[in-house]
Structure 1
Amino acid sequence: MHESFGLFDYDSDDKIIVCGVDEAGRGPLAGPVTAAAVILDPARPISGLRDSKKLSESQREFLALEIKEKAMCWSIAESSVEEIDSLNILQATMLAMRRAVEGLRVIPDLALIDGNRCPVMAIRSEAIVKGDDKVEAISAASILAKTARDHQLLELHKQFPQYAFDQHKGYPTALHIARLKEFGVTPIHRKSYAPVKAILKGESL
């Protein structure tokens, strides 16, 4: 059951502004990790918000447009492959989330973060496990992060068509691993990830 957060009474008699935050792309072997932050507008509700992984691609694309149109404000940010390799994926994800929140044109009082930990930020934050299917603002952030990252991988597919990023979006599928073995590692692959590291060392997978 979703709870609708926007201008929400949160342990206070005063209305506070709440944003939802989520990420996409922690597991892939290539491309950035993307995060989004969304402050919903209670006066403009959006039907069908849920965890982006439980939606079809067409549903996500439709809802992403509606979120961008109806939300009080939204922001999308990322951490690069270089940052993932130098910081580790957890810290790079936290950085992308913080950047997304800091990119909002309205400063929220509270950030609700999907997962079990929060990035270090100037504002108050709270982690909510499985929040992307419990809190509408987090669901909205999940959808924006996922669609933005998918669009970016489609662009990367144009640069590296032999890797079939349009099909696997950088995730470690059998097809992706096979293409990595055949064509080698590109600058957009995460060199700190075990399968990529093994190929760079000439080890068998």
Structure 2
Amino acid sequence: MNIQEIERQLSLITDPYNPLIEELKKDKRKGVQKQLIKWEKRLEKERQTRKKFQQMMMYEKQLKAEGYQLICGIDEVGRGPLAGPVIAAAVILPDGFYLPGLNDSKQLSEKRREEYFHIIQEEAQHIGIGQIEADEIDRLNIYQATKKAMLDAIQEMKMMPDHLLIDAMKLETPCPQLSLIKGDAKSISIAAASIVAKVTRDHLMQKMAIQYPEYGFDQHMGYGTALHIEALKQYGPCPIHRKTFAPVKDLLEGTI
């Protein structure tokens, strides 16, 4: 076989004991050995990805062993921005779910988040979304608004979960729960919720960018970037700005 054909054949092989591998190891051509090294690196990367995924299933497996079936991951996005809602997602994944590379949404590219978002939407057993708008955030405070968004996300699901896995938060609910610091890097259910919440909010802020084009919401999603602060100083706050958050509050009070 020529090098191009060998590369094609190797792209289809995942078994290190495939007879072709032993045959290629004896091939003295530099191009062949280069393709073998490339193949071995790909296999090792896939092995590490699967290992990481298995590690992130630890809590789900333990709870399943204890008899829980509907294990729900919960995460939020949007606590820090100056504008827009806080969004929480609640996700129950099916048995056998596998999505290599699933991790904290902040660690993924926008393109990968979108891909994963659609896969989770298609394969999840249940998904719930909680959305608390800026005016209610101002009324409740961001901490209480985040908890309310999470509870709303649970309520929106068609079936009540058996157990909750929550990213760094405790909720007032009779449902058993476990709060995990940096849970979106420790649990596949929380990681899936992280992606659903992030992409849902990004889509919403992209729509807000059309409604309020002067603020560039599609570029910063409401966070306090230099571009956003400059637009605030020039145009003042719009209806989706959080009036209790500095510097929006300072602008309204005329202190800056």
Identify the match of residue 74 of structure 1 among 127, 130, 137: 127
- Partner of 1:147 in structure 2? 199
Matches within 5 A, 1:1-205: 1=52, 2-4=55-57, 8-10=61-63, 13-115=66-168, 117-204=169-256
The higher-RCO structure (CA 8 Å, 6+ apart) is 1
**Alpha-carbon distance between aligned partners in 1 of 2:134 and 2:228, rounded to the nearest angstrom:** 17
Given that 2:60 and 2:187 are in contact with CA atoms closer than 8 Å, whether structure 1 keeps it comes out as: no
Cα distance per residue 1:102-129 (max 9 Å; x no partner): 11122111111001x2121231211100
Structure with more helix by fraction: 2
Quick one: distance in 1 between partners of 2:75 and 2:58? 15
Kindly indicate whether the alpha-carbon contact (under 8 Å) linking 1:5 and 1:137 is maintained by their aligned counterparts in 2.
Answer: no
**RMSD between aligned residues:** 1.6
Identity of aligned residues (%): 45
Larger gyration radius, structure 1 or structure 2: 2
Q: What SS class does the counterpart of residue 69 from structure 2 fall into?
A: strand
Looking at secondary structure, tell me which structure has more strand per residue.
1
Give 1:5 deviation, angstroms.
6.7
Task: Go from structure 1 to structure 2 and tell me whether the alpha carbon gap of 1:109 and 1:178 turns closer, same or farther (over 3 Å shift).
Answer: same
Structure 2 residue matching 1:85: 3-state secondary structure: helix
Counterpart code for 2:206: L
What amino acid maps onto 2:186 in structure 1? K
Q: Are the counterparts in 2 of residues 36 and 74 from structure 1 also a CA contact under 8 Å?
A: yes
TM norm structure 2: 0.76
**Deviations along 1:38-91, whole A, 9 cap, x unmatched?**
111123322221000000000000000000111111111211111100000000
Could you tell me how far apart the structure 1 residues matched to 2:80 and 2:197 are? 14
- Is the Cα–Cα contact under 8 Å of residues 6 and 39 in structure 1 kept in the other structure? no
Long gaps (5+) in structure 2: 1-51
Query: Is residue 23–residue 142 contact of structure 1 (8 Å, CA) maintained in 2?
Result: yes
Change in Cα spacing, 1:44 to 1:10, as seen in structure 2 (3 Å) is closer
**TM-score normalised to the size of structure 1?**
0.94
Q: Give the gaps of 5 or more residues in structure 1.
A: none
